[in-house]
Amino acid sequence: MEKVGSCTTKTVSSTWPFLSNLSDPYTFDLVHYTRLLEDNSDRVFVQDAQTYIKIIEIGKQDLLFRSFMELDSYLKSSQFKGIRIIFVPQTFSWGRLLISERGLRMLLSHFQVFPAFVDVITAFGGQTSSESDSFKCCYITKHVDEHGREDSDEPWSIRQIGVYHQRNSWLDTDTFIILNPSKSFQQRLKDAMTISGHLPTWRDIHTLSASCSATPWRRFIGDMESRLAQLKTKAHLSTVIDKTSDTRPSLKIEFTDTQDIQVIHDKLHRVNYILESNLRVFNVISRLMSPSLAVRSQQPSTQSPVCDSGLAFCTAETEMQIQRLQTLFRRIHAASGLMQNIIDFRGLEALKTNSEMSTEISRLAQSDNKLMLANAKKSQKDARTLTTITIFTMIYLPASFVSVGSKSSPNVIR
C-alpha cells in the first residue's frame, strides 16, 4: 500500500508543473489537470522557438520575450515588486497560444498558479472540427394553444417555452434544458423519432422548437379573422334608419360591437409583437445552425438540409402570418370606421328626431297656452255675469219674500 502511494505521489510530482499550498491534492484532482494539459498540448501550445510573450512591470518597463530561454532567465533573475501583467496572445481566433508547454509549466510553477486555471487554458487553441468548439445559447419563443376551459369565453392561451442549449463538440455532447415544454412539442418529438427511425440531432431539437412555436398561430389568426368577418358583415347589413312599417328582423350596430372590434385589434397587436420576436429568434437560430465555420475551414458541412429547410419553413410561416396581421389591421380600420360612421349617423338621426319631437311638443304647448288664455278670459266674463246676477238677487229677493208674505196673511195687515 505504501509503495503504491509513493509511486503515485512521485508520478504527480514529476508531471504536474507545481506543488504548493494552493495545490492541495485533497482539493484539486492533480492527475486530471496533468492529463488535460498533456492531451491538449499540441492543440493549444506552440514550439519553444515560436514563443512571443509580453510582460509589463507597471511603472518600470515593458519586456518582450521570443524564446523559452529568455523567459526562463527573466523569471530566475527578476526582483520586481509591484503589479506585473503577462500577456500570452494567440496567432488568430482559433490559433494556438504563443507559448510552449514547457514555458507555460514554468510560469505556472514560478507564480504558483492553482490548477483550476488549466480549464481556462484548454478553452483556447486550434479548432479540430468543422463546428465551433463549444457554444451556449438560450431563448424564449411564444406560441398559442387552446386551453379547453369551458368557463372562459376566450378559448386561446398564449404560452411560452424556454430553451437552453450547451454544446461541446470535443466531447460530442449536447445538453438541452426545456422550460414549460408544450404537449405538442413532447408528442411530436416522440412521433418524429418513431417515423424517421433515427435519433434527433441538436439541430432537429431547435427546428422542432421553432415549428411548435410557429405553426399554431395560423389557427389563432384564422379565428380572429372569422370574428372580424362576422362584425364586418353585421356592419355591412346593419339597418341605418329605422323603418316602422318594415316588420322583418334587421341587424343593428351597437356600441358593444365597436368594443369587440377594438379588443380584437389589441389582441392582434400583441400577437404581431410576439411573432416579430419569434422571427428574430429564428434568425439567430438559423445563424447558429449555419455551417459558416465549415466553409471557412473548407470542410464539408454536417448540417442536414432537412433541418435547414425546416427552419426556413418556420421563418417563412412566421413572416406570412405577420403579413396576414398587417392585412387584418387595415380591415379592422375600415370596419371600425364604418361602424363609427353608422353609430354617428344614427346619433344624428336620433338628435334630429328628438328636435322634431321637441318642436312639436313646443307647438302643442303653445296651443294649450292659447286655449288656457281663452278659457281664462271666458272665466273672467262668466265671473262678471255672476256678480251682476248676485247683485240683482240681493236687491229683489227680500222684496219677493215680503210680497209673498203679505198675500198669504191679509189679516195681519189689517
Note the pTM of the prediction, 2 decimals.
0.54
Rounded Cα gap, residues 97 and 184, in angstroms = 47
CA 315 to chain centre: 17
What pLDDT is recorded for position 39?
86
Residue 218 near residue 200, CB atoms below 8 Å? no
Closest CA to 308 of 204, 378, 220: 204
3-class secondary-structure state, position 168: strand
pLDDT tens readout for residues 66-118: 988 898 899 889 888 888 888 988 877 667 899 988 888 888 888 888 888 88
Rounded Cα gap, residues 133 and 285, in angstroms = 17
Residue 115 near residue 80, CB atoms below 8 Å? no
What pLDDT is recorded for position 279?
94
Edge to edge, the sheet with strand 53-57 lists 61-65, 53-57, 84-87
Q: DSSP readout, 300-312?
A: -----HHHHHHHH
Edge to edge, the sheet with strand 134-146 lists 134-146, 156-168, 173-179
Cell 463549444 sits on residue: 134
Tell me which residues of the chain have a pLDDT lower than 50.
Answer: 1-15, 18-21, 130-132, 292-306, 413-414
What pLDDT is recorded for position 356?
83
What pLDDT is recorded for position 320?
95
Cell 515588486 sits on residue: 81
Rounded Cα gap, residues 226 and 18, in angstroms = 74
Cell 499550498 sits on residue: 21
Rounded Cα gap, residues 302 and 357, in angstroms = 84
Alpha carbon distance, N-terminus to C-terminus of the chain? 182
Type of residue found at 113: V
Nine cell digits for residue 408: 198669504
pLDDT tens readout for residues 312-340: 999 999 999 999 999 999 998 888 888 88
